[in-house]
């Protein structure tokens, strides 16, 4: 198959959806498919996640909504069997640019419906373009059922993947224990809740530090919060790092404080290397990966800061509990392999391509 993926960006500070695209795109090339990826990145940018050199890259140096003509010309130039838009920021423009081309379109969604409930303009664009897609992908059955029926019926569940890596090390630098969080610094990721919870128990656990990996619009607010709590030496915000696996390896406990997730790729990665994890029981995505008191803890209650602080204290106080939960992590996510995810993508795209070819053949005969 000849495939064209569109995504907002692959340089800068991409998230889990972009990581999955980079892996799946490379795997599809390795299986003999012709894969191109187009993004809005500057022409001289470097992709954050590595790609197989055989993946053809188009960097368009500007946002999709201002480059609809360029996007349409690219579709006509590539003439793919299927074009795939990754996330709303790419698949909505793809739906418009692809009109009248006869190219089958697929939308790849990685967000819980809760996101659209709080972003009405994005919700409107999704509803306006959903009928343009031959299929949509979503990361879990539970997340799929959150969507309205009109959208849900187009969705195929393809779970995210966890790329293989090495296991954990014995401890963090100089024997310090590390509480690790990984995620873009956005309000819905709950980092303000996490910092407040850590601050409430930090004095009782002087050998622990909180390390939050990621970048985003909430950085200034979070930095002010750290200073206000007097935790400048205990809370680190190093930004987005290329080798997140080394961070997992040196950590002692993983925390996902999000209000909602569609899958929770960072949580799955942490579990895969034997890190015990903690998150909120009402967080979609998190509650599908963390099995309470088996590979981590799920907490809840009206006071999110208090609930998280109590769960963190329970884990930070017990080496034995962390070890028991950590041992169960790898087996709990072993079904999210690169091979199984790529198999699912390949099957779906072949079905869409075959249906598109048949439809175009029928149109040609009718003319």
pLDDT of residue 358: 58
The two domains 2-161+337-366 and 173-332 share their CATH topology (first three levels equal): yes
Domain 2-161+337-366 matching CATH 3.40.50.720: the answer reads no
pLDDT of residue 242: 83
Q: Are 191 and 257 in contact (CB under 8 A)?
A: yes
Q: Are 239 and 213 in contact (CB under 8 A)?
A: yes
| Burial grade of 152 (CB within 10 A; 0-12, 13-18, 19 or more) | middle
173-332 belongs to which homologous superfamily? Glycogen Phosphorylase B; (3.40.50.2000)
Pinpoint the alpha helices (H) of the chain. Answer: 16-30, 68-78, 88-97, 113-117, 120-129, 141-144, 149-152, 191-201, 219-228, 244-250, 265-272, 286-289, 304-316, 319-327, 329-332, 338-366
**Residue 242, C-beta contacts closer than 8 angstroms, at least 6 positions apart:** 48
Q: What is the DSSP letter of 291?
A: P
- The tens-digit pLDDT sequence of the chain (367 residues) is 999 999 999 998 778 899 899 999 999 999 999 999 999 999 999 999 889 999 999 998 888 777 788 889 999 999 999 999 999 999 999 999 999 999 999 999 999 898 999 899 999 999 999 999 999 999 989 899 999 999 999 999 999 898 766 555 555 455 789 999 999 999 999 999 999 999 999 999 999 999 999 999 999 999 999 999 999 999 999 999 888 999 999 999 999 999 988 888 899 999 999 999 999 999 988 999 999 999 999 999 999 999 999 999 999 999 999 999 999 999 999 889 899 999 999 999 999 999 977 566 545 444 4
Q: Are 90 and 6 in contact (CB under 8 A)?
A: yes
Q: What is the DSSP letter of 296?
A: E
d(CA 159, CA 68): 30
CA-based nearest residue to 37, from 85, 1, 81, 79 = 85
Q: How do the domains of the chain map onto residue ranges?
A: 2-161+337-366, 173-332
Rounded to two decimals, what is the model's pTM?
0.81
Neighbours of 339 (CB within 10 A): 9
């Amino acid at each position: 198959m000849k495939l064209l993926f569109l995504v907002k960006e692959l340089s800068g500070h991409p998230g889990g959806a972009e990581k999955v695209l980079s892996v799946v795109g490379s795997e599809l090339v390795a299986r003999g498919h012709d894969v191109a990826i187009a993004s809005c990145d500057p022409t001289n940018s470097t992709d954050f996640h590595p790609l197989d050199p055989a993946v053809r890259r188009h960097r368009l140096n500007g946002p999709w909504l201002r480059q609809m003509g360029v996007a349409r010309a690219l579709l006509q130039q590539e003439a793919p069997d299927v074009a795939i838009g990754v996330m709303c920021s790419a698949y909505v423009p793809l739906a418009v640019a692809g009109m009248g081309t006869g190219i089958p379109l697929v939308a790849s969604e990685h967000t819980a419906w809760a996101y659209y409930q709080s972003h009405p303009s994005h919700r409107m664009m999704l509803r306006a373009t959903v009928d343009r897609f031959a299929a949509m992908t979503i990361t879990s059955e539970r997340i799929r059922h959150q969507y309205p029926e009109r959208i849900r019926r187009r969705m195929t569940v393809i779970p995210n993947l966890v790329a293989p890596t090495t296991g954990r090390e014995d401890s963090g630098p100089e024997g310090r224990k590390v509480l690790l969080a990984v995620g873009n610094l956005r309000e819905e990721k709950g980092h303000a809740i996490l910092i407040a919870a850590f601050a409430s128990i930090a004095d009782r656990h002087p050998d622990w530090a909180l390390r939050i990996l990621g970048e985003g619009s909430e950085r200034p607010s979070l930095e002010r919060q750290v200073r206000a709590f007097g935790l400048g030496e205990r809370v680190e915000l190093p930004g987005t790092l290329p080798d997140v696996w080394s961070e997992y390896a040196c950590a002692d406990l993983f925390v996902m404080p999000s209000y909602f997730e569609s899958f929770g790729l960072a949580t799955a990665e942490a579990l895969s290397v034997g890190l015990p994890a903690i998150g909120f029981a009402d967080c979609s995505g998190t509650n599908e990966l963390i099995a309470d008191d088996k590979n981590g803890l799920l907490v809840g209650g009206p006071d999110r800061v208090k609930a998280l602080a109590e769960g963190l204290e329970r884990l930070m106080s017990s080496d034995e509990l962390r070890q028991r939960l950590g041992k169960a992590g790898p087996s709990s996510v072993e079904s999210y392999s690169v091979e199984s995810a790529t198999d699912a993508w390949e099957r779906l795209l072949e079905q869409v391509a075959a249906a598109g070819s048949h439809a175009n053949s029928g149109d040609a005969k009718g003319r």
